[in-house]
């Protein structure tokens, strides 16, 4: 209830003019809750409102303009920023090297110590043959944009000079790198010529020269001499072939068939004597 009275009093205090703020406010009980009015009604009771909080406006003036930096101060800041870098070098392309790029778009790599101070607005700039590339680079590895060459590409197998530097937000050069000279080459693929397949080469074994002797087999592979043919008497049938003798067991040959009235056959070599 107190909260509602306070809110209602605040609303009335803002709505009424300043001359009526000091008048009394009356509250009556309605069907939907309390009803506030500046006129007394039957059954109404006065409400005492707290004094209003008035805050005097703060005068707003123009902000103080910063003191303009003198050329000496700017030069001093540039020298201080330049002294913070110890080294700047072009690592690619190499000095005296070559770059293969048919579209003349190649990569540039820089080495800087310490790292580039991006918070101070520092950036890299490069120039080719004395012509600056109209772009600031914040990375140490970047590509030369195609807009630099335009519609006319440089001729192939020509030498170019690349320069690099570090600049600040105002475009002042803080440190320069030693320029490098490189050759820009174009890669080409020669057409492959069709060649007729050659027939296979037949390799023949060499013939021995005339009058040369046949090669002898190695030792241990000498051909054995043929055995002498058995002697058979005319009119007498040939002896039956004997079975192969067992190892280390000589076996006598079968008895020869002798015709009556004829002399016995001559003994053969290796036959046992009777």
Are 181 and 93 within 8 A, CB to CB? Answer: no
In this model, does residue 274 exceed pLDDT 60?
no
pTM beyond cutoff 0.75? no
pLDDT tens-digit series, residues 154-213: 888 899 999 999 999 999 999 999 999 999 988 877 777 777 788 888 888 777 777 666
In this model, does residue 243 exceed pLDDT 80?
no
Are 160 and 128 within 8 A, CB to CB? Answer: yes
The full length of the chain comes to 274
Which residues neighbour 3 within 8 Å (Cβ) at sequence distance 6 or greater? Answer: none
Domain ranges of the chain: 2-47, 80-185
Residue with tokens 């043919």: 229
pLDDT tens-digit series, residues 8-41: 555 555 544 444 444 688 888 887 888 888 888 7
Pairwise CA distance, residues 41 & 27, whole Å: 8
C-alpha distance across the termini of the chain, in Å: 164
105 burial class (0-12, 13-18, 19+ CB within 10 angstroms)?
Answer: middle
Which residues neighbour 138 within 8 Å (Cβ) at sequence distance 6 or greater? Answer: 116, 118, 123, 124
| CATH architecture type of domain 80-185 | Sandwich (2.60)
Among residues 119, 124, 116, 110, the alpha carbon closest in space to that of 84 is found at: 116
Residue 176 is given by DSSP the state E
User: CA–CA distance from 246 to each of 16, 254, 270 (Å)?
Assistant: 152, 16, 16
User: Minimum mean pLDDT among 14-28, 114-128, 140-154: which range?
Assistant: 14-28
Are 13 and 53 within 8 A, CB to CB? Answer: no
Mean pLDDT of 53-71: 58
């Amino acid at each position: 209830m107190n909260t509602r009275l306070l809110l209602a009093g605040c609303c009335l205090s803002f709505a009424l003019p300043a001359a009526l703020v000091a008048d009394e406010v009356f509250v009556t009980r309605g069907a939907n809750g309390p009803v506030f009015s500046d006129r007394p009604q039957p059954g109404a009771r006065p409400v005492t409102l707290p004094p209003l909080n008035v805050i005097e406006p703060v005068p707003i003036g123009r902000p103080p303009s910063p003191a303009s930096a003198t050329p000496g101060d700017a030069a001093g800041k540039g020298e201080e920023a330049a002294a913070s870098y110890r080294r700047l070098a072009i690592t690619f392309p190499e000095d005296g090297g070559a770059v293969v790029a048919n579209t003349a778009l190649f990569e540039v790599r820089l080495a800087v110590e310490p790292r580039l101070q991006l918070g101070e607005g520092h950036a890299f700039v490069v120039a080719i043959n004395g012509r600056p590339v109209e772009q600031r680079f914040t990375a140490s590895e970047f590509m030369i944009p195609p807009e630099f060459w335009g519609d006319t590409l440089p001729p192939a197998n020509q030498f170019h000079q690349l320069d690099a530097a570090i600049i600040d937000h105002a475009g002042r050069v803080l440190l320069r790198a030693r320029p490098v000279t490189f050759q820009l080459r174009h890669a080409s693929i020669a057409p492959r010529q069709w060649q007729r397949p050659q027939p296979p080469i037949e390799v023949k074994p060499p013939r021995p020269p005339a009058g040369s002797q046949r090669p002898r087999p190695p030792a241990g592979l000498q051909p054995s001499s043929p055995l002498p043919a058995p002697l058979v008497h005319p009119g007498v049938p040939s002896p039956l072939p004997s079975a192969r003798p067992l190892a280390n067991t000589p076996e006598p040959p079968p008895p020869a068939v002798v015709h009556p009235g004829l002399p016995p056959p001559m003994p053969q070599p290796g036959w046992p004597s009777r």
